[in-house]
Chains A and B, each alone.
Chain A
Amino acid sequence: MLEEVKLNELNYLVERLSREELVWLNGYVSGLIKNSLKSEPKSAKLSGKLTITFGTETGNSKKIATEFATKARKQGLTVKLASLDQYRLSDLSKEENFITVISTHGEGEPPSAAKKFFSHIHESKPDLSKLRYSVLALGDSAYPLFCKAGEDVDTQLATLGGNRISPLQKCDVDFETDALEWFNRSVNVIGNGEHVTPIQATPVKHVGRKIYTGKILAKVNLNGSGSAKETYHIEISADDLAYQPGDSIGIVPQNPKGEVESIIQLLAVDQKKTVQYKDHEYSIDELLTNKLAISYLPERVVSKYAVIVKQNIPAVRIDLIDLLKIYPPQGENQVDEILQGLELITPRLYSISSSLQAHDGEVHITVARNCFQFDGITRHGLCSDYLSRLSDESRIEFYVHKNFQFRLPAPNKDIIMIGPGTGIAPFRSFVEERVNTGAEGKNWLFFGDQHFASDFLYQTEWQDYVKTGGLTKMNVAFSRDQQEKIYVQHKMLRHAAEFFKWIESGAYLYVCGAKEPMSSDVEKTLLEIIKTEGQKTTEQAQDYLNQLIEEGRYLKDVY
């Protein structure tokens, strides 16, 4: 019943107690339980209908929405709970009370599960003059467009005539308290049939998350010579590490030294100059190295810059260094304004590729050094470049980003993992976890990349797992080793009968890697397999897949 960590702590304590102390503890604990039962508030019975929806990517919104649904039911409300991608959109104009929990991703985007809902309210524009609603927006204040998706939904529902039960509540990564307060406020309004009176939105409480300071233990480019790719396996150690297979870590990259130096020269300020930025003082060097995004600035930042330097600047993404060269600022005031107009460096998330069961006190990640062409010049992604340049023993700050949507099933369940490219990362964590905890379920892994000889990530580890039974099956697809392109979905199809048999016997399906085209192609193939092997119509196959999703047996971590 207890999580491993808690169990360990309990055992640690119990082992050190004398008999007398144990007896005392027994009494103490039962007293605790009695009191907690007493203190459960006897809430007044409420009445009314409530629809709770959620749009989730990593499972936080779902988790919280489900908790609210349970609570509201206990309090006497009739509650309907639905994920936004399962929610019948035509119901929206008929709802009495509607609350939604929605997270924000990337550049202020809603989670993919909420995309249909999003376009419905923005494009179909239903009349919502009868709707009473409230929005809980989850986000991460490390990103400039904090809670943007929730804001958009809240504004649009109002535009369409909806009335707020309670104002939009924005929550940062540590969301539990704020969310609960918002919920209680909302439910009280609903249950007591109160008229909706606008209440002042409560400000977001920024609670810091646990930041780990890790040490790089090892870093190796997994790709062999002749590969077009660079994929780094990075091992980091840190104290008190806690994470689950499926989680990611967030890393805030540093800007390249050379570029920062050039910018300071262009700004014509002293390197030691201190600058105030959002309630903190930094040396300009530190600010530009560790805090502010300076490359590939978004259009909104470029427009601000244009206003500051009073120039006409086309609204395209551009590096700060280029802006400074082409449109140099005049005077120190402008310099300060420019700095204030810049946004924070956003953290990058990397799927964890290790298990604490196998590597105590360590977290491993698998980072593709991102290469792209911009204006005819080969450039590298900021964070992957930063990571690939780190040397052994160097320090790095990171936090753990939980992903409740991507968890291993019970140990006796079978799993099929599809993870081409760096999509392999969480599955190394999965397999390590299952092998080291003696999970008896079967494990089938699909991997793909460009070339067998140079791009088979973690090849020798997988070979050992296959030999020793840690992996039941492994199939690989290398797209560029032959005339025709072979991808993971082709390998799924080649083993269609067995694939379907595994699903039929209750296997959990995991997909990790590129959203497009990989995860779409995999899904198409999955439907194809269900259709042919299960002798179903297209519609039945889709229902079958929906059922898998419902049961939490088809899980994706795609980007």
Chain B
Amino acid sequence: MSTALSPIEKVKRESKGLRGTIVESLRDEITGAIAEDDQAVIKFHGMYQQDDRDVREERASKKLDRLHSFMIRLRLPGGFLTSDQWIATHDIAGENSTGVIKITTRQTLQLHGLIKSKIKPTIKAFNEAKLDSIATCGDINRNVVCSAHPKQSSIHEEVFGYSEKISELLMPKTRAYYEIWLDEEKIKERTEEDPLYEDRYLPRKFKIAIAIPPNNDVDVFANDIGLIAIIENEKLIGFNLAVGGGLSATHGNTETYPRLASVIGFVAGEKNILKTIYEVLTIQRDFGNRSDRKLARLKYTLDKYGVEWFKEELEKRIGFKLVEAKSYQFSDRKDFYGWHKNHQGLWYYTVFTENGRVLDSEKVKLKSGLLEVAKTNKANFRFTCNQNVIVADIQEKDKASIQRILEAHSIVNHTESATSIRKNSMACVAFNTCPLALAEGQRYLPSLISKIEPLMQRHQLESEEIVIRMTGCPNGCARPYVAEIGFVGTAYGKYNLHVGGDRQGQRLNKLFKESLDEVSILNELDQLFSDYKTKRNTKETLGDFAYRNYFN
């Protein structure tokens, strides 16, 4: 294996504190793109350069450059917005991007189709709403996610608080974001000291999630660090620490694989908890693979050096021993659609948002409806890792008026009438903007679900809450490897079919059939449902059945 540093390492080190030549790139009038090295740097500012892949060929024949635009992703620890912030986001999306607000699989929002000249106005407008996009992409700790629904327990608020604290702790120290996008004056020529990231940052992206059992809605084991809240007598006593989860893989590269995080112990007390998290990052910073980006996530570091070694190294760095992991139980991994009340009597309505796309369609005026809700100033907005929005924190006295707005925009009907497989399905963005996409994701899954629904009905399985997920490539953004039925794109119109994941997200599924087109997918599922219907044990989930039936 080559030990030469990957080219991106050089770009990071020479970026002058994530500044690169972004300012010059923005001034370049003749291209909608930014310089190649800046494309790596700008990720740390929460953006990806993309282009409309549907029109590449046509534009080339017209002597036009690719139609470049940028995706910007917000930093929303725990996935929370006030009404005012939702209105601001709504307006910014309308003014500067495609207009669609996309709820991501990691509890934040992203806007697509920003042209180069719109980036600065967008970030300025977000800043006025006290929102930023710092470190939401790139080789750095990304948005910290946590169990979304406050009805879950009285400790939700405390846990949610941790997501903010962790996010703050792991922010880069450079002022580049403020200088480039918000015209903050540069104080000194020297770039800022950053004891955590130094000038190297991490070898690869880094994801942290916090789950409150019994719901694993955040897919806690799919993260580099998973924190499992341990509750005794209705009090948060600390977290079980899981490390080394990550789902991305590369077709044809057997060294890559999805991996669930390993629980290595329990830690209590805010200071110790934060210290532990911090040092997990320093280990990955110092030991992670910086020559092959495909093998650079924490999971590979962990498997290379061993879990025991990792624990020892961590304890050495934090200066205390981890306690043995406490017991916990996950029973679900879902969103609580419709109205629910928390322990303080506040109300929450979880809106079904297919693939996280907030827009007005003929059937449901989701975007207008949410705007009207925000304008009442009587609700907050929370986002889930299943790409849904929760209209949140509503007083009893306001519930009826919010309900009327949701009904008037067909949101209630839309949420209630969606089948349970549709509501438990998820797809990544893929075409036309994702540069990694091999096959369609969110543009295709809804129509495929429409063809799966009759099959489920035929086998009388329509009430089963089967988790179906699709990604357009093997990188796993929509976490297909922890789905009961996972589709992973291999080529345009072709998908690998994975089955056998459990319902709670504690067991990876397995590759079942390779490179299927739609007809073959439907045939395979028809057979799968038929087997399941006839041979299942009582209360056995489809994932458990498939695992038992096909792989044992």
A-side interface residues toward B, CB under 8 Å?
220-225, 233, 452-454, 456-463, 466, 474-476, 481-482
7 nearest interchain CB pairs? A476-B29, A459-B65, A460-B63, A458-B63, A459-B64, A224-B64, A222-B62
Q: Which of A453, A461, A476, A482 interacts with B63 by CB under 8 Å?
A: A461
Q: Which residues of A contact B59 (CB under 8 A)?
A: 224
Query: Can you pick out 22 interface pairs between chain A and chain B where the beta carbons lie within 8 Å of each other?
Result: A220-B61, A221-B62, A222-B62, A222-B64, A225-B55, A233-B63, A453-B32, A454-B64, A456-B30, A456-B64, A456-B65, A458-B63, A459-B30, A460-B63, A462-B30, A463-B30, A463-B31, A466-B30, A474-B30, A475-B29, A476-B30, A481-B117
**How far is B63's CA from A482's CA once the two chains are assembled, in angstroms?**
24
Do A224 and B60 form a contact, CB below 8 Å, given A453-B67, A459-B30, A466-B30? no
Q: Which residues of A contact B179 (CB under 8 A)?
A: none
- B152-163 vs A, CB cutoff 8 Å, 1 = contact: the mask equals 000000000000
Q: Which residues of B contact A481 (CB under 8 A)?
A: 115, 117
Q: Which residues of B contact A456 (CB under 8 A)?
A: 30, 64-65
Identify which of B58, B59, B62, B65 gathers the most chain A CB atoms within 10 Å of its CB. B62
A interface secondary structure, majority: mixed
**How far is B65's CA from A466's CA once the two chains are assembled, in angstroms?**
14
- Kindly report which residue of chain A lies nearest to residue B33, judged by CB atoms: A463
In whole Å, how far is A421's beta carbon from the nearest beta carbon of chain B? 15
**How far is B30's CA from A460's CA once the two chains are assembled, in angstroms?**
9
- Kindly report which residue of chain A lies nearest to residue B59, judged by CB atoms: A224
Q: Which residues of B contact A454 (CB under 8 A)?
A: 64
In whole Å, how far is A304's beta carbon from the nearest beta carbon of chain B? 45
In whole Å, how far is B111's beta carbon from the nearest beta carbon of chain A? 17
Q: Which of A220, A233, A460 interacts with B65 by CB under 8 Å?
A: A460
Contact A220 B115 (CB under 8 A): no
Contact B63 A225 (CB under 8 A): no
Q: Which residues of A contact B117 (CB under 8 A)?
A: 481-482
Do A463 and B29 form a contact, CB below 8 Å, given A224-B55, A224-B59, A452-B115? no
Contact B30 A220 (CB under 8 A): no
- Kindly report which residue of chain A lies nearest to residue B67, judged by CB atoms: A453
**How far is B220's CA from A557's CA once the two chains are assembled, in angstroms?**
68
Q: Which residues of A contact B67 (CB under 8 A)?
A: 224, 453
In whole Å, how far is A357's beta carbon from the nearest beta carbon of chain B? 19
**How far is B453's CA from A508's CA once the two chains are assembled, in angstroms?**
71
- Kindly report which residue of chain A lies nearest to residue B29, judged by CB atoms: A476
- Kindly report which residue of chain A lies nearest to residue B68, judged by CB atoms: A453
Q: Which of B41-74 contact A (CB under 8 A)?
A: 55, 58-65, 67
**How far is B59's CA from A224's CA once the two chains are assembled, in angstroms?**
7
Q: Which residues of A contact B61 (CB under 8 A)?
A: 220
Contact B65 A474 (CB under 8 A): no
Given A224-B59, A452-B32, A460-B64, 15 additional A-B pairs, CB 8 A:
A221-B62, A224-B62, A453-B32, A453-B115, A454-B64, A456-B64, A458-B63, A459-B30, A459-B63, A460-B65, A462-B30, A474-B30, A475-B29, A476-B29, A482-B117
- Kindly report which residue of chain B lies nearest to residue A482, judged by CB atoms: B117
**How far is B64's CA from A170's CA once the two chains are assembled, in angstroms?**
47
**How far is B115's CA from A453's CA once the two chains are assembled, in angstroms?**
9
- Kindly report which residue of chain A lies nearest to residue B62, judged by CB atoms: A222
Q: Which residues of B contact A466 (CB under 8 A)?
A: 30
Do A223 and B62 form a contact, CB below 8 Å, given A452-B115, A453-B67, A453-B115? yes
Q: Which of A220, A462, A463, A482 interacts with B62 by CB under 8 Å?
A: A220
Q: Which residues of A contact B31 (CB under 8 A)?
A: 463
Q: Which of B32, B55, B63 interacts with A222 by CB under 8 Å?
A: B63
Q: Which residues of A contact B60 (CB under 8 A)?
A: 460
**How far is B61's CA from A475's CA once the two chains are assembled, in angstroms?**
23
Do A463 and B65 form a contact, CB below 8 Å, given A225-B58, A452-B32, A453-B32? yes
**How far is B442's CA from A23's CA once the two chains are assembled, in angstroms?**
81
Contact A474 B64 (CB under 8 A): no
**How far is B74's CA from A118's CA once the two chains are assembled, in angstroms?**
67
